[in-house]
Amino acid sequence: MRSKFYLTLLTVCVMMVAFSGNALAVKPLTPETIQGVTVVDDAWVKENLERYQVFDVRKKAEFIEGHLPGASWNHYREKSAKSPDFDETEDTFDLSKFPSDKSARIIVYCNGPRCWKSYKASVLLVRAGYTNIHWYRNGGFPGWKAKGYPVETR
């Protein structure tokens, strides 16, 4: 009876360790810079929000729940690795939703420095020839909301 208890306990412990890897996995941080992109913070975005076209690349449900005032939604559907050398052919992103003027002032954001969607969107915008991209990396929407800045819902 006692050995059955220990065998059950051992089995439970092994299962907890085996399955905790996925539960405890933390997304890697995005790179701190992108060539051809200006990285901006909460205060800069708040100060410049009305002078730039703002794009939220998170999931639609997240956008509906809350987004930066005046932001447009353009979901980056991410399937590729969370890595600077990601394979863009695995992802889906509609560049036609961005202005035809490649010098338009644009801010791109998602959920902060562990969210790769805005990183990848910014990289693709540069590759497409856009020259005035501002990546809101440091706080993203959670940081914006935590500071008590205004939020829109739809």
pLDDT tens string 42-67: 999 999 999 999 999 999 999 999 99
Tokens at residue 148, please? 């008590």
Average pLDDT over residues 104-113: 98
Is pLDDT above 80 for 23?
Answer: no
DSSP three-state, residue 94:
coil
What is the structure's pLDDT at 3? 57
Could you please state the CATH topology (level 3) that the domain comprising 28-146 is classified under. Answer: Oxidized Rhodanese; domain 1 (3.40.250)
d(CA 150, CA 79): 31
- Kind and range of the H or E element at 116? helix 116-127
DSSP β-bridge partners for residue 72? 55
CB 36 within 8 A of CB 134: no
10 to 13, 14, 43: CA distances (angstroms): 5, 6, 52
Global confidence as pTM = 0.83
